[in-house]
Amino acid sequence: MKGFAMLEIGKIGWIEKEKPTAGPYDAIVRPLALAPCTSDIHTVFEGGIGQRYNRILGHEAVGEVVEVGSEVKDFKPGDRVVVPAITPDWNTLEVQEGRHQHSGGMLAGYKFTNIKDGVFAEFFHVNDADMNLAHLPEGIPLEAAVMLTDMVTTGFHGTEMADVQFGDTVAVIGIGPVGLMAVASAQLKGAGRILAVGSRPVCVELAKEYGATDIVNYKNGDIVEQIMEMTDGKGVDVTIIAGGSVNVASAAVKITAPNGTISNINYFGEGEHIPIPRAEWGCGMAHKTITGGLCPGGRSRMERLIELVKYNRFDPGKMATHIFEGLDKVEEALLLMKDKPKDLIKPVVLVA
Amino acid sequence: MKGFAMLEIGKIGWIEKEKPTAGPYDAIVRPLALAPCTSDIHTVFEGGIGQRYNRILGHEAVGEVVEVGSEVKDFKPGDRVVVPAITPDWNTLEVQEGRHQHSGGMLAGYKFTNIKDGVFAEFFHVNDADMNLAHLPEGIPLEAAVMLTDMVTTGFHGTEMADVQFGDTVAVIGIGPVGLMAVASAQLKGAGRILAVGSRPVCVELAKEYGATDIVNYKNGDIVEQIMEMTDGKGVDVTIIAGGSVNVASAAVKITAPNGTISNINYFGEGEHIPIPRAEWGCGMAHKTITGGLCPGGRSRMERLIELVKYNRFDPGKMATHIFEGLDKVEEALLLMKDKPKDLIKPVVLVA
Amino acid sequence: MKGFAMLEIGKIGWIEKEKPTAGPYDAIVRPLALAPCTSDIHTVFEGGIGQRYNRILGHEAVGEVVEVGSEVKDFKPGDRVVVPAITPDWNTLEVQEGRHQHSGGMLAGYKFTNIKDGVFAEFFHVNDADMNLAHLPEGIPLEAAVMLTDMVTTGFHGTEMADVQFGDTVAVIGIGPVGLMAVASAQLKGAGRILAVGSRPVCVELAKEYGATDIVNYKNGDIVEQIMEMTDGKGVDVTIIAGGSVNVASAAVKITAPNGTISNINYFGEGEHIPIPRAEWGCGMAHKTITGGLCPGGRSRMERLIELVKYNRFDPGKMATHIFEGLDKVEEALLLMKDKPKDLIKPVVLVA
Amino acid sequence: MKGFAMLEIGKIGWIEKEKPTAGPYDAIVRPLALAPCTSDIHTVFEGGIGQRYNRILGHEAVGEVVEVGSEVKDFKPGDRVVVPAITPDWNTLEVQEGRHQHSGGMLAGYKFTNIKDGVFAEFFHVNDADMNLAHLPEGIPLEAAVMLTDMVTTGFHGTEMADVQFGDTVAVIGIGPVGLMAVASAQLKGAGRILAVGSRPVCVELAKEYGATDIVNYKNGDIVEQIMEMTDGKGVDVTIIAGGSVNVASAAVKITAPNGTISNINYFGEGEHIPIPRAEWGCGMAHKTITGGLCPGGRSRMERLIELVKYNRFDPGKMATHIFEGLDKVEEALLLMKDKPKDLIKPVVLVA
């Protein structure tokens, strides 16, 4: 079969591979919709997860089941499914300890491209199908559904880790697709004021639609100063980091009030240390909690997010600014993600 | 001054009392908007909190400060304020233990009518003004603001106590004003499907507007059977009890899945026991948590709810189906609450 | 092989069955130590879980692995293992939702005797061996280890569900082995005062050793009155129910302060309803949370409890008042549990 | 009256001041036992909280009430009291938001020496007496009681912020008095293995007595390597930082497993940034939560800790290695703290 791969760091291309086969608990899926992710760009062009040779890219997919193993109970060929970016082995002690994302080791719940071939192919393999696939109900457009696999679960996790309360003031730093979903989820968790930090007009507009009440543009000056002024020196209850280099963490701590939470959903690809500003962290005494984590995956998570779309709680499909048709357009979509033209939020490739 | 009072259980009427005076930390407020509450009806006609003589009724008010004590810092005469139904003494150990509603004893954070005169008067007294009043911003209509004092904080507390998670299926039993706010808050906390149990058309319509996805009408059969069928026998993640007699708790436990929460915001006025069905509670082993509590009060709570209205997260003003003008209309509004005509959700009295 | 079984409700006896076989993820274990449980008595003599024919009894065992399936990685024949009473299927959505005890349905994580043969046999079957067995380290006596499988995990769960805080006053109602472990765990979670409700001298003595500061004997009068007097009318922060009929829940609510938790670890075998006293539950408004649940099982849980014994945090072996030798003594041990002689806390059967 | 003061940064000495007077809610207390704290040393010799002139030092005291304001209800002259280091104004919105330590601003719950004169004087002032004092029961030695005011509440807060669970493996970095109380509290919260990082023999011995199972000595090599080896590469569930420079945070993150918590109770006095190691923090994705906060103060907290001592849950008095008599010995005790002789854990000054 054909797949679009990272040939090595810095090189991409189409390759031929054997169609994967399903073990007793697994499924083989063919894609119906695919989306490239910024982390694909990091992976292939910056070596974000290290060297990989001829590894098929991609971890955001909605598809159709074409084959299932003998022990799979809830899925059968022909079923349309949402495939989470995080597909852990569920039979591990990490799961018993409540950390499925780190099943098999830190971040090892992330398998596509990282540990095995990804989804940018005619077919791909899903381990533990009953635990990692979710049925896609009628009536949810493919471009909305494919957002659930990573962008939505990641953005929403930012809000969850911060345990947003009714009336909280929330800052979201970065309003690419993950940040936009952090904004949407902050509203859906009961935030009051939502300060979205970003500058690209296409994102700013959608941030407002998803619930941002104020836009903070770094081009208008230091964001810390702007936010402290906007909040009368109090800072915010919650800061969600959804983009930026390690220094953004420093700004995040500064704008967060004592007892507040800084919740990171950004992959920090470079830098030896993430700097926490000592004084503004109250010399270690301010009860400003800093956390961050890989998005939840698995079936139950996908089913919950599907419910939110099904009942019109929000519409992630609005982020699909560019829609392509045909598997071979994956390359173009990926490069678009790399180039980030002005009007791009997220490209989606529909596969007939 | 004039006040509308419970003369004794079963009797209401206008009385004359001395205008209250402010201690050093207190404020005297004149009402701008008042709302009668079902619990006023319980109090006066059913003796819900026991006997009281010539006690001024009412605990839902927005007003204007007319006098403050010497130690009050943040409020001055002329300020427009939201007055929570729950106005605790904040200098108590219960507050240090995280239960301001029970400051001074179980439920003793509820002072209006219960411990001192209520708000249905030309003037009323607010203890601990800096801690119990909140500034009403421009642009929030009085009929929306007055809902925050009790209906909103109560309904939202139902959702908070249940710690609703993204995609939860939530049942709300009872869709009077408190139940409607439970529905609205469940949506605002990220619920997926919301089953609202009620039958009055005016409430059903608003429940849908606030986020209910399904209406369960007891006239169509046993609500437990209906809900179990609608959820394929699984039950719901969260049940919020917002009305009914003690037996409703039994239904609530039955429709809630293992590990789910039953969150009560209904005042149970009668019955010796609240019956928990043994078998459906898993013989004590099902991890179905049952909780319930008086709504949070105080300034910070009101400020947080004001933020939600200010940023258009929801509009509680829609519940004000009947608007009266003039303090003397409080009697008519209260009796309307007692009679509950078909088109009533909540009456509000505006006071010039 | 030989097994000691419930022949039908009310009848026990030895039977012959085929030795069980291991599926790819399973293990076959032969017992080294067994303990009968009060719930075995409920099961066989009161029909607590309904009718079962020729079902081997017992769910508390430490053993030696004699056979493993092809996919088992961490265990091999000859390994000495602790076998939790709760051995769920881990590949279920309930696990993803954080409720492994209810994997496959309410309480269905409890498999021995309930869903398949129990452990009172020459050999028994353990599903999902890598997820449900734990290695028994050298130096932990068998009679201590066998307590971990049910008594310890259950008693400790009472404390966990109540989220005991430093300095909490905790009441434990019932000081059989589960209640004793609730006492021990309350001390280990930082409780201050611990009121143990019980009367049998052998239990009273051990309760004190495990951390009880006060003993409340129902023979000296109503326990609610006694405890309210001992706490100057304030009640306790946490009540753990570890024994009694459904009415004990009523007492538990009465002695618990507003904002407190009632945590149940008692199997209520009879009665249609568990009665919550309306007035003392604050008419639904007191923030007295009532919860209860089946003990956690699985490997990680057992490993954590093993750590506590290994590092001498407490010694559950002290509960083993009667030690028998030989599998055939299981009958005598079980009947002892039924008769409850004065000096009994828990019998253990060692199997060479 | 006489007081021992920071004259300016780097200079200490005895000064004369007016005896403080009590406002309506306040109390004046004379010390019965005092203890100098490492943070007194930071304050006066390193300018840890900035410049102060003629400010009386000290924030750890047990005393006798000599005067109370007109509104104080629960205390009267002659009462023996424990005075927490943190004595917030309780009438602030921060308290309503659950952060009394930051009442009036970040860290502003810490008033002695910081905002007003401290306790090293013939008399000292306590604001909000009913909320900030706790009665000292008979039978608790003064040297144990004075530890509660800061060392115990701080050390225990480390464990609380980390929400230690049964069987957790906990590392405590630094075993001065605060670290020792972190060790004791980890045991009291149900930790299994406790790795104490330190080298001074007097501290090592007491750490073992308080529950440490392993000692990690930095003189034997890099502590990260040692701990990773001791835990088979897994790391620990919780790390409590109780000493060290900003770089210790980097080690703490490295030794903590995914999903673990790093809980800081150390005052970081120097350095622009606290460095979080990017790779070991999972590039922001590891769910390693970093938090830290000023110890809880107030009456209820002290009462809870008093309960723990009263019921013999642990004995903080063991840390009092050096006992002085007479207020004038405060100087010697403070300088001892500065010099840290080999056999010192904590000096206490008893005042007749």
Q: Give per-residue pLDDT as tens, A12-54.
A: 999 999 999 999 999 999 999 999 999 999 999 988 889 999 9
Task: State pLDDT tens for residues D141-182.
Answer: 999 999 999 999 999 999 999 999 999 999 999 999 999 999
C199 close contact with A: CB closer than 8 A: no
Q: Please name the residue of chain D whose CA is at the shortest distance from the CA of residue A291.
A: D289
A307 close contact with C: CB closer than 8 A: no
pLDDT confidence band for D48 (50 / 70 / 90): confident
Task: Give the span between the Cα atoms of D288 and C344, in whole angstroms.
Answer: 46
**Is the Cβ–Cβ distance between D206 and D318 less than 8 Å?**
yes
Task: State pLDDT tens for residues C307-348.
Answer: 999 999 999 999 999 999 999 999 999 999 999 999 999 999
Chains that touch B (3 or more CB pairs under 8 A): A, C, D
Mean pLDDT of chain D: 97
Q: How far is CA D121 from CA B206, C95, C329, D4, D45, in A?
A: 65, 59, 72, 6, 19
Which residues make Cβ contacts (< 8 Å) with residue A66, sequence separation at least 6?
A: A28, A29, A30, A77, A123
pLDDT confidence band for D47 (50 / 70 / 90): confident
ipTM of the complex as predicted: 0.97
Type and span of the H or E element at D226: helix D223-230
pLDDT of residue B48: 85
Task: Give the span between the Cα atoms of C145 and C124, in whole angstroms.
Answer: 18
Sheet holding D2-8, edge to edge: D11-16, D2-8, D55-56
Type and span of the H or E element at D11: strand D11-16
Task: State pLDDT tens for residues C119-146.
Answer: 999 999 999 999 999 999 999 999 999 9
pLDDT of residue C298: 98
Task: State pLDDT tens for residues C240-277.
Answer: 999 999 999 999 999 999 999 999 999 998 999 999 99
Q: Quick one: tokens of B250?
A: 């039994």
Type and span of the H or E element at A204: helix A201-209
Q: Do A91 and C298 touch (CB under 8 A)?
A: no
Reference C228, options C219, C245, C216, C212; nearest CA is C216
pLDDT of residue D140: 98
C352 close contact with B: CB closer than 8 A: no
- Do strands B273-277 and C124-126 pair parallel, antiparallel, or not at all (unpaired)? unpaired
Decide if pLDDT at C48 tops 90: no
Reference A134, options A98, A69, A81, A183; nearest CA is A81
Decide if pLDDT at C47 tops 90: no
pLDDT of residue C271: 93
pLDDT of residue D116: 97
pLDDT confidence band for A308 (50 / 70 / 90): very high
Reference C31, options C56, C5, C64; nearest CA is C64
Task: Give the span between the Cα atoms of B135 and B276, in whole angstroms.
Answer: 42
pLDDT confidence band for A62 (50 / 70 / 90): very high
Q: Quick one: tokens of C295?
A: 């003990």
pLDDT of residue D49: 87
**Is the Cβ–Cβ distance between C84 and C100 less than 8 Å?**
no
Question: DSSP per residue over C51-73, as a string?
Answer: --SSEEP---EEEEEEEE-TT--
A124 close contact with B: CB closer than 8 A: no
Nearest-Cα distance to chain B for C268, in Å, is 5
C239: which strand partners?
C171, C262
Q: Do B300 and D98 touch (CB under 8 A)?
A: no
With contacts defined as CB-CB under 8 Å, which chain B residues touch C166?
A: none
Q: Quick one: tokens of B279?
A: 């078998």
Decide if pLDDT at A235 tops 90: yes
Decide if pLDDT at A199 tops 90: yes
Phi-psi region of C275 (alpha: psi -120 to 50; beta: other; left: phi over 0): beta
Decide if pLDDT at C352 tops 90: no
Task: Give the span between the Cα atoms of A317 and A308, in whole angstroms.
Answer: 13
Task: Give the span between the Cα atoms of C306 and A133, in whole angstroms.
Answer: 35
Is residue D84 helix, strand or coil? Answer: coil
C57 close contact with B: CB closer than 8 A: no
**Is the Cβ–Cβ distance between A178 and A242 less than 8 Å?**
yes
Is residue D344 helix, strand or coil? Answer: coil
Nearest-Cα distance to chain C for D289, in Å, is 20
C277 close contact with D: CB closer than 8 A: no
A331 close contact with C: CB closer than 8 A: no
Reference B212, options B242, B182, B189, B244; nearest CA is B182
Q: Do C91 and A91 touch (CB under 8 A)?
A: yes
C208 close contact with D: CB closer than 8 A: no
pLDDT of residue B63: 98
pLDDT confidence band for D111 (50 / 70 / 90): very high
Q: What angle do CA C191, C194, C196 make, to 5 degrees?
A: 145
Q: Do A299 and C93 touch (CB under 8 A)?
A: yes
Q: Do A131 and C91 touch (CB under 8 A)?
A: yes
Q: Do A292 and D294 touch (CB under 8 A)?
A: no
Nearest-Cα distance to chain D for B90, in Å, is 7
Q: Please name the residue of chain B whose CA is at the shortest distance from the CA of residue C102.
A: B258
A70 close contact with C: CB closer than 8 A: no
**Is the Cβ–Cβ distance between A11 and A47 less than 8 Å?**
no
C83: which strand partners?
C61
Counted across chains B and D, CB pairs separated by less than 8 A come out at: 40
Mean pLDDT of chain A: 97
Of D106, D278, D286, the CB nearest to A246: D278
Neighbour tally for C344: CB within 10 Å: 18
pLDDT of residue A127: 98
Counted across chains C and D, CB pairs separated by less than 8 A come out at: 72
Which residues of chain B have a pLDDT value below 50? none
Nearest-Cα distance to chain D for B335, in Å, is 36
Q: Do D278 and A278 touch (CB under 8 A)?
A: no
Long-range contacts of A15-19, Cβ-Cβ distance < 8 Å, separation of 24 or more: A15/A54, A15/A56, A17/A54, A17/A56, A17/A117, A17/A121, A19/A122, A19/A123
Reference C62, options C301, C302, C310; nearest CA is C302
Of C267, C273, C289, the CB nearest to B276: C273
Q: Which sign, positive or negative, has the C-alpha torsion A159, A160, A161, A166?
A: positive
User: What's the N-to-C CA distance of chain C in angstroms?
Assistant: 16
**Residue environment code for B56-80, b if the CB has 16+ CB neighbours within 10 A, otherwise e:** bbbbbbbbebbbbbeebeebeeebb
| Secondary structure string (H, E, C) spanning C264-290 | ECCCCCCCCEEEEECCCCHHHCECCEE
B284 close contact with C: CB closer than 8 A: yes
Q: Please name the residue of chain D whose CA is at the shortest distance from the CA of residue C164.
A: D189
Task: Give the span between the Cα atoms of A125 and A111, in whole angstroms.
Answer: 10
Phi-psi region of B282 (alpha: psi -120 to 50; beta: other; left: phi over 0): left
Beta strands in A149-220 (DSSP E): 170-173, 194-197, 214-216
C167 close contact with B: CB closer than 8 A: no
Interface test with C, best of A71, A91, A160, A301 (most C CBs within 10 A): A91
Q: Do B310 and A192 touch (CB under 8 A)?
A: yes
Nearest-Cα distance to chain C for A93, in Å, is 6
pLDDT confidence band for C302 (50 / 70 / 90): very high
**Is the Cβ–Cβ distance between B331 and B324 less than 8 Å?**
no
Q: How far is CA A32 from CA A59, A79, A86, D262, in A?
A: 13, 11, 18, 43
A75 close contact with C: CB closer than 8 A: no
A107 close contact with D: CB closer than 8 A: yes
Long-range contacts of D51-55, Cβ-Cβ distance < 8 Å, separation of 24 or more: D51/D8, D51/D9, D52/D6, D52/D8, D52/D9, D52/D113, D53/D6, D53/D7, D53/D8, D54/D5, D54/D6, D54/D7, D54/D15, D54/D17, D55/D5, D55/D6, D55/D113, D55/D117, D55/D118
Interface test with A, best of C96, C101, C130 (most A CBs within 10 A): C96
**Is the Cβ–Cβ distance between D265 and D240 less than 8 Å?**
yes
Residue with tokens 């019921």: D311
D52 close contact with C: CB closer than 8 A: no
pLDDT of residue A164: 98
With contacts defined as CB-CB under 8 Å, which chain D residues touch C313?
A: 187, 190, 192
Residue with tokens 């102060």: D52
Q: Do C313 and D189 touch (CB under 8 A)?
A: no
**Is the Cβ–Cβ distance between C228 and C235 less than 8 Å?**
yes
- Cα D59 to its chain centre, rounded Å, is 10
Q: Quick one: tokens of B261?
A: 């929460």
With contacts defined as CB-CB under 8 Å, which chain C residues touch B281?
A: 268, 274, 292
Domains and CATH numbers, chain B: 2-151+295-350 (3.90.180.10), 155-292 (3.40.50.720)
Q: Which sign, positive or negative, has the C-alpha torsion B225, B231, B235, B238?
A: negative
By CB neighbour count within 10 A (0-12 exposed, 13-18 middle, 19+ buried), where does C16 fall?
exposed
Interface test with B, best of A157, A311, A312, A314 (most B CBs within 10 A): A311
pLDDT of residue B12: 96
Of C190, C193, C308, the CB nearest to D192: C308
B166 close contact with A: CB closer than 8 A: yes
Nearest-Cα distance to chain D for B156, in Å, is 17
Q: Do D274 and A281 touch (CB under 8 A)?
A: yes
Give, as one character, the DSSP assignment of residue D193: -
Amino acid at A103: S
B209 close contact with A: CB closer than 8 A: no
- Overall average pLDDT of the A235-262 stretch: 97
Q: Do D273 and A271 touch (CB under 8 A)?
A: no
